[in-house]
Amino acid sequence: MGTYINPGNQAFAEIAGASYVDKTGLLRLINQVISRENKLICVSRPRRFGKSWTAKMMTAYYDCSCDSHNLFDHRNIARTTDYLSFLNRFNVISLDISGFISGIKAVNGSLMELTGIIQRALWKDLIAEGFQPEPDDTLNDFLLRCIDQSHGRPFIFIIDEWDMVIREAQGDEAAKEAYMNLLRGWFKNSNFTPKAVAAAYMTGILPIQKNGSQSAISDFQEFSILNPGPFAKYTGFTESEVKRVCRKNRMPFNEVSFWYDGYELPGTATIYNPYSVMCAVKAKACRSFWGKTSAAEGLTNYVKIDFDGLQETIASFIAGSEISVNTDGFQNDLESFRSKDDVVTLLIHLGYLTFNAEHNTAHIPNEEVRREFRNFLAAEDTGKHWIRLMKRADHVLDNTIAGNSEEVAKTLSEIREEQYAPQYYNNEQSLRAIIKYAYLSAIGKYIKVEEMPSGKGIADVVFIPASGSRLPALVVELKWNRTAGGALSQIKSRKYTAALKPFAGNIILCGINYDAESGKHTCLIERA
């Protein structure tokens, strides 16, 4: 077994233990296109969504140098009619581009060296596997010869993090072009591709660039996080899979869902971040396991300079809003930003936002990512605009808990005057939008529930303290052109605190009214 040529099944065996969530059904999708015109597939997903695990699974399944029956006979793929037809029947080339780039960086090398390093590594592996080249062979000549020497077995190419060169070599067009020429020689070569390539599966974070510079892979079927097609349910963990994981590990499903659910994909229910779910299970606790990447850190400058109003949009996301976004203009790179929508679209591909294709809107998917946004934007050097908003939100929450109703009303008016919801400036939705901004500080400290059934009706907004917190629960009722006293009376008469029995004696009731004629907010606060 080689390192890159037919590397065997050991890597998958190490992760295919009792905790493995069976995603082998994805192999059926690959089997359907092997040696057909649509045999080239490129799948882009956010980081830590199982790309490397998928690559290891595919290698173990197709690699002809090993016997993987014990790893797959009890899996979902074994239920398909063509399971045995493809099991361990191909030569495999398995490349992790990030590993090559890390090696180059470790010795302060140049990315121009990448293609030469990959070619030499493959050549060395082929020799070690016993294949014999002719003196004048190119790498492609040698690969074709290997097929003849292995009883006609073509290659399945599995390339993990294929786009890392595109992300890392910004401004280095020569390095990118050399890399694309390597791919062009494999996948857009009429003398090689039909004979040598049974299928190719490439994974990355960003989709293929739109400007034509990546024509080497223009023949690939592309399945991005925006358009995952049949790969949707293999992008992350489904709800049923997470429920099984939670039952097996005695984890509270509702808490895991609150932290890691929320990625919306066409054609399937919401998807969970698999890496974070498994980290939570291992740690026996839910928290943020999301770490920054170089790609995400590259967005810092755009947020700091408030690119096209981006800071205000980020504040809206953190407040729980869904924001319309046009994803069509994004050029699928980290350099060609022309509008706020392009930056928001990049955040979707990076997994910091999720996209609702039906309504063309984006929002933060879950608590884990929301906290990362808030931690990032609350940093002292992020931007005065954001810092001012967060201080104001701290002021509202502190004064609500302290019962300072006049200060709460005054601050709500200040927030309204800055037009955080201009599209709803004179209707009830405007007041709801203002409340989202006003109570941004509650995120992380509370679980916010809008329109919560309780008692004899539905409470407008309820803030439930996070587990272990000594903070009071908050019930907020909103009125438009009525009175704050009426809002407070409704909370009590309809017994909106009925669902908050565990917090009896530590509940804040807050009635808020906005008078459209005077343009003033009023507020009344009581403790129950």
Say how far apart CA 90 and CA 65 lie, in whole Å: 9
Q: Does residue 424 register a pLDDT over 50?
A: no
Give the tens place of pLDDT for each residue, 348-398: 998 999 999 889 999 999 999 988 887 776 665 555 666 777 788 889 999
* Domain 294-377 in this protein, CATH class: mainly alpha
Residues of the chain with CATH 3.40.1350: 384-527
HEC-encoded secondary structure of 457-486: EEEEEEEEECCCCCCCEEEEEEEECCCHHH
Least confident piece of the model among 214-228, 269-283, 390-404, 454-468: 214-228
The DSSP element (H or E) to which 41 belongs, if any, is strand 40-44
* Other Cβ atoms within 10 Å of 117 Cβ, number: 14
- Burial track 389-401 (b if 16+ CB lie within 10 A, e otherwise): bbebbebbbebbe
Largest Cα–Cα distance in the chain? 91
Separation of alpha carbons 142 and 151, rounded Å: 15
188-211 pLDDT, tens digit per residue, is 999 999 999 999 999 999 888 765
Architecture of the domain whose range is 10-223:
3-Layer(aba) Sandwich (3.40)
The predicted structure's pLDDT at residue 469: 84
Query: How far is 205 from 334, CA to CA, in rounded Å?
Result: 11
pLDDT value of residue 71: 96
User: Lowest-confidence range among 10-19, 74-83, 117-126?
Assistant: 10-19
Q: Identify the residue whose tokens are 């223009």.
A: 218
Question: What's the alpha-carbon Rg for the chain, to the nearest Å?
Answer: 27
Concatenating the DSSP letter of every residue in 165-233 gives HHHH-TT-HHHHHHHHHHHHHHHS-TTTHHHHEEEEEEEESSPPPSSSTTGGGTTSEEE-SSS-GGGGG
In the predicted model, what is the mean pLDDT of residues 422-434?
65
DSSP-derived secondary structure for 176-192: HHHHHHHHHHHHS-TTT
Query: What is the structure's pLDDT at 193?
Result: 95
The pLDDT tens digits of the residues spanning 474-494 come to 999 999 999 999 999 999 999
The topology under which CATH files domain 384-527 is Trna Endonuclease; Chain: A, domain 1 (3.40.1350)
The 10 Å Cβ neighbour count of residue 379 is 12
276-296 pLDDT, tens digit per residue, is 999 999 999 998 887 655 555
Q: What is the pTM of this model?
A: 0.80
| CA separation for the pair 7, 122 (Å, rounded) | 12
Q: If you average pLDDT over residues 398-415, what whole number do you get?
A: 93
Predicted local confidence at residue 414, as pLDDT? 86
Instruction: For the chain, give every residue range classified as CATH 3.40.50.
Output: 10-223
SS3 label, residue 249: helix
Please report which confidence band the pLDDT of residue 101 belongs to, taking 50, 70 and 90 as the band edges: very high
**H or E, element range at 436:** helix 428-438
**pLDDT tens-digit readout, 170-190:** 778 899 889 999 999 999 999
45: left (phi over 0), alpha (psi -120 to 50) or beta: beta
